[in-house]
Amino acid sequence: MATNPWSLIVPVKLLALAKSRIADAAGPHRQALALAVAADTVAAALSCPLVGAVVVVTDDALAAAELAAAGARIVPDEPDRGLNPALVHGAGRARLDGPVPVGALSADLPALRPAELTRALTAAADHENAFVPDLAGTGTTLYTASAGVVFAPAFGNGSRDRHVALGVKEIDLPDIPSVRRDVDTADDLREALALGLGPRTERVARLILGRGRPQ
């Protein structure tokens, strides 16, 4: 079991490049959506009682400023070699002061609930390495490593199968949909809206989807 608070590593792309799969639906709100989703994800993670720190790896100046103001620690993407090296870099910075448990959390979880993240991290703490699959069952939204354990995430297309093949424990709880509902498409955004979006994402989603909460 983890005895120290978790440090979560959240990767945030340059806003101009983010949310490419929802670009047509989002139109002029694309960058605002990307920042809102990241901000709501970070805010929920910081509200989780098991989380001691959120480390955001980003080279985007606007995202860095806003997420730092929210309480995240900002680390530039010095490796600049892709997602997994960026996450490893962030985890290394988080562990400079000691061997804390670390997790890589998707920045695309605008419906994230602290209570559900607590359940996921509690389950993950029983294993050296663990991961939570996305709702599609092909990707990963959370990857964890206990204190002192090698942190070696394998995010990217088909990451769920890669993590399983690497022997990482799959955390497939039925009651953590907000931890699993990442948002890449307009349909994903509608499903996240049904779960209950964070306040910043909901404001932008209303503009994109043309409606408020489902009745």
Please report, in range form, the residues annotated as the binding site for phosphoenolpyruvate.
140, 156, 159
Q: Checking DSSP bridges between strand 129-133 and strand 140-145, what pairing results, if any?
A: antiparallel
Question: How many other CB atoms sit within 10 Å of the CB of residue 202?
Answer: 18
Please check whether residue 120 is in contact with residue 51, taking contact to mean a CB–CB distance below 8 angstroms.
Answer: no
Tokens of 151: 């942190």
Report d(CA 58, CA 122) in Å as an integer: 27
Count CA within 13 A, CB hemisphere, residue 67: 36
Phi, psi of 66, rounded to the nearest 5 degrees:
-70, -40
Question: How many other CB atoms sit within 10 Å of the CB of residue 184?
Answer: 16
Per the annotation, where are the binding residues?
Answer: 140, 156, 159
Tokens of 6: 């978790």
**Angle 198-56-192 (CA atoms, 0-180°, nearest 5)?**
25
Please check whether residue 127 is in contact with residue 169, taking contact to mean a CB–CB distance below 8 angstroms.
Answer: yes
Backbone dihedral region for residue 19 (phi beyond 0: left; psi -120 to 50: alpha; all else: beta): left
**DSSP summary character for residue 136:** T
